[in-house]
Structure 1
Amino acid sequence: MTVTNGQDELEDQFTRWREYVRRRPELVSSDADELEDHLRDSVDELVALGLRSDEAFLIAVKRMGGLDDLSREFAREHSERLWKQLMFTGDDGDGVRKSRSRSDLIAMLVCAAGAAVSIKVPELFGKHYDDDGTFYSVNFALFALPWLAGFLAWRRRAGAGLCAVLVAMFTLGAVGANIYPVADDSQSVGLTSAHLPLALWMVVGLAYVGDDLRSSRRRMDFIRFSGEWFVYIVLIALGGGVLIAFLGGTFDAIGVEAGEFIWTTLTPCGLVAATVVAGWLVEAKQGVIENIAPVLTRLFTPLFAVVLLAFLVTVGWNGRGVDVNRDTLVMFDLLLVVVLGLLLYSISARDPQAPPGTFDVLQLVLVGSALVIDALVLFTMTGRIAEYGTTPNNVAALGENIVLLANLAWSAWLLTGFVRKRGTFAAVERWQTAYLPVFAVWTWAVVLVLPPLFNYR
């Protein structure tokens, strides 16, 4: 227990140091990561010599000296990068920063254009966007997310090995989505359409973390990126909806029917391109969006907590169980995903050194209420499965609820310890980042395993 607490305290100190470093405008994220790696190596060396972790951290920071001095040292060693321009050439640093931003912009435009073109390629083989089939509903994410991953891999300067893994995973997703002989009305089609984007988003996460897959910090950064990306996608979609409405109205005013072009070309091309644009915006405008998403989290966390508590009180008052059918399962699964999303993003946006407060209690109430609801749904669901048998839909829903139940249960335990000041917030953060592979494994299992397991029905 002492070793665990010491490790938690050390991680808290690293977090505080990292927060300070990243506030420096001259340091980009990759440079801050390199500084932290340098500090961690120094701490490890001192601990190996017999020092306590807190002593080793203080000495290592002291050895590194002031941040400005260390920046100058990095500038000398990395002369081709932004450091030297910022530290030694004055105004030239703005030019280098603009050059880097311009190269990012060009890469984003290339990837966004690639996504827009790729979604029209199936038309060459007779697959049209306005067809009644399920091709685009199943494959839509495959036209967007590989290009976003490509942009992130380019920006991270990913090695050949990682790029090969990314290509292999997206290829596996494409094969799994199209190789099975499923009918358009098969339950497997709906499951693949819902789960393949989530599975591929985990592949995007590989591109985001680069070659630092085992780093809990980098995985938490990806969680933060996911929340910010979602906010930007919503904003772009709202703006795009207004643009499309004006476009249709103005062409109608001159007697030109633009509906088919808007539906079959502008909308799908705009949607897949927007996924790349949103990723670029998150990377380029982090300081802006970080002021928006945490506000949304703090707004909706108490609202959802009140709604879930009201639901549980109503269930207890009426004495009725949860009526589990297909629509109800979808609703509850979405509800639990939203709760988990609120928890994840509030964790990623929170100051780990801040003491427990009212908002942490509200989070505990939210997670506890969701946990009870999940248990009620699982209880009813297992009874119905035992009575009526299994289908792809109810097995997928059962698995998702079990995966969420495990996450919420341990999250509630760790949050309880933190609120009672018997644990650290770093433990809550580590649990969420360590659990990400579980979500990845389950979503891929739904896409690749369930269809043949149930004979493609």
Structure 2
Amino acid sequence: MTDFEALDQPDEALEAQIAQWREYVERRRELKTADADELEDHLRGSVDELVEAGLSGDEAFLVAVKRMGSLDELSREFAREHSERLWKQLVLTGPDGGAAAGETGARKTLWVMAGCAAGAAATFKLPELFGADLDEDGLFYATNISLFALPWLAGFLAWRRRARPGLIALIAALFVLGAVAANVYPLDEGSQSLVITAIHLPIALWLVVGLAYVADDWRSTRRHMDFIRFTGEIVIYFVLIALGGVVMVAFMVGTFKAIGVQPERFIVEWLVPCGAMASVVVAGWLVEAKQSVVENIAPVLTRLFTPLFTAVLVAFLVAVGVTAARIDVEREALILFDLLLVVVLGLLLYSISARDPLAPPGLFDKLQLALVVSALAIDALVLIEITGRVTEFGTTPNKAAALGENVILLVNLAWSAHLLLRFIRRQGRFAALELWQTRFLPVYAAWAWAVVLIFPPAFAFM
């Protein structure tokens, strides 16, 4: 290590501490990016003064955090979450002011969440007032499933972020547009356009939820990455709620049958569908309220499944090479491979969102590079097969949608692999990979809306 590098190490440690503090500050939804910038400038100014007075960088940071004045309550919470830090002893002093106000705000949030969850459950049953039936009108529910819960989740998040009326109007207009696309087009049961609409509309509307999540900070890269983290966390919480629901339903069936009551109809028609819609909102509220818990779980899951998926993809490529078999590009296979690539991208995105951007490259980064390269190889094979089929037999809505999605994923993963390789070689910063992923989100939104709105009429609703 050179003398220059040795001198630079304390600065890197201090930057890591400030970055950790900044990330915690930005979780406070009442603070905008400009507010966080101002607070960080104040913190850095205090640190510089203390360093000039003779303190080390670490000591200066501890004292500067303690001196944050109006942020004493925030500093105490920050210290509680990072209890392993030595400076917990410096921060956790003084009266715990503001607790009553925080309790009141939490209670209000709970009631708003409960109202939104009840609204999502009621919305699912609303079509029955107009003659719809869950058994006989399965196509209607398949295309509209995302319109039952996501508007209520977006409403809850917009309320939490104190979104401006203009943004709320835009979000509402996009949900209305999605409802029109799902119900106005003449899509038959055997229509391929029906399938791609049912798949892409939830994606398009989920990114509308993202607008409510970032609210007025839509230009902030950190807020975009927070939404990616939110997406992964809400999936985890929803699955946990669903598993608990399965256990509850099993006990319910057993206990009611013991007294001669058959609860199956109530469970199928009311409890399960309405509970699923409400659980989307509840899961979003849990992510907002219990971030520190799930942020410990999610990185563990990411680190568990990344090597497993890497092994599966490598094994698949080896099998293709040994058997010289061609990939079947029928509809079910296309959906499967697209989902596989989405899972790979999800693992990459969530590992990025949960990673310390200032940490040096390590073994897990190399494993991620292997995962991305394997996915790229599979994506290239699928693209070759789709292009050949389109050239030979012409295009269909399924093949056109799959072709576009594979091209989009190919571009994303290829540049992600390039940035990962540069980072591993210490030729670039990890922040560049984070920035690339957040700037790619509008591409997914544009493509999903194009498939929902343009593809059905373009292919004569076939």
TM-score range, shorter chain: 0.7 to 0.9
Q: Taking structure 1 as reference, are residues 131 and 27 closer, same or farther at Cα in structure 2, changes over 3 Å only?
A: closer
What CA distance in whole angstroms lies between the structure 2 residues aligned with 1:60 and 1:187? 62
1:12 touches 1:426 (CA, 8 Å); kept in 2?
no
Q: Is 1:268 matched up with 2:273?
A: yes
Per-residue deviation, residues 391-445 of structure 1 (Å, max 9, x unmatched): 1111111111111101000000000101111111000100000000001111111
- Indicate yes or no: 2:69 matched with 1:68: no
Q: What are the equivalent positions in structure 2 for 1:18-417 lying under 5 Å apart? A: 18-22=19-23, 28-31=28-31, 33=33, 35-38=35-38, 62=48, 66-72=64-70, 90-417=95-422
Q: 1:246 to 1:377 in 2, by over 3 A?
A: same
Alignment check: 8 A CA contact 2:29 2:161 kept: no
Task: From the superposition, tell whether residues 298 and 101 of structure 1 become closer, same or farther in structure 2 (CA, over 3 Å).
Answer: same
Shift of 1:219: 0.1
Q: Which runs of 5+ in 1 are unaligned?
A: 1-9, 44-56, 76-85
2:18 corresponding residue in structure 1: 17
- Tell me, in whole angstroms, the C-alpha distance in 2 between the residues paired with 1:23 and 1:377: 42
For the 8 Å contact 1:71–1:87, the answer to whether it is kept is: no
Assess if the C-alpha contact under 8 Å between 1:111 and 1:148 holds in 2.
yes
1:326 is displaced (CA, Å) by: 1.7
Name the aligned partner's letter for residue 341 of structure 1: G
**Deviation at 1:89?**
9.2
Distance 1:291 1:201 in 2: 24
- Distance in 1, matches of 2:276 and 2:22, equals 36
- Give the Å deviation of 1:126: 0.2
The answer to whether the 8 A contact 2:66-2:72 is kept is no
TM-score by length of 1: 0.87
Shift of 1:36: 2.2
For 1:12 and 1:198, how far apart are their aligned partners in 2? 39
Q: CA deviation at 1:249?
A: 2.2
In the alignment, the residues of structure 2 paired with residue 384 and residue 142 of structure 1 have an alpha-carbon distance, to the nearest angstrom, of: 34
* Preserved contact between residue 124 and residue 148 of structure 2 (Cα < 8 Å): yes
CA distance in 2, matches of 1:396, 1:257: 45
DSSP 3-state at the match of 2:134 = coil
Note the C-alpha offset of 1:319.
2.5
| Deviations 1:294-324 (CA, angstroms, capped at 9, x unpaired) | 0000000011111111111221222333232
Percent identity of equivalent pairs: 57
Deviations 1:55-105 (A, max 9, x none): xx9558647992333342799xxxxxxxxxx99993442211111111110
Task: Report the number of matched residues.
Answer: 423
CA contact (8 A) 1:145 1:201 kept: yes
1:144 alignment partner, SS class: helix
Higher mean C-alpha deviation, range 288-297 or range 187-196: 187-196
Provide the secondary structure at the position in 1 that maps to 2:151: helix
Check the 8 A contact 2:423/2:430 in 1, yes or no. Answer: yes
**CA positional deviation for 1:14:** 7.3
Is the 8 Å Cα contact of residues 369 and 417 (structure 2) preserved in structure 1?
yes
What amino acid is aligned across from residue 239 of structure 1 in structure 2? G
Q: Using a 3 Å threshold, how does the CA distance of structure 1 residues 14 and 278 change in structure 2: closer, same or farther? A: farther
* 3-state SS in 2 of match to 1:438: helix
Q: Look up the equivalent residue of 1:72 and give its one-letter code.
A: S
313-322 or 347-356, which moves further after superposition? 313-322
Tell me whether 121-130 or 202-211 shows the greater mean CA deviation.
121-130
2:213–2:227 contact (8 Å) kept in structure 1: yes
The alignment's C-alpha RMSD in Å is 2.7
State the alpha-carbon separation in 2 of the partners of residues 377 and 60 from structure 1.
56
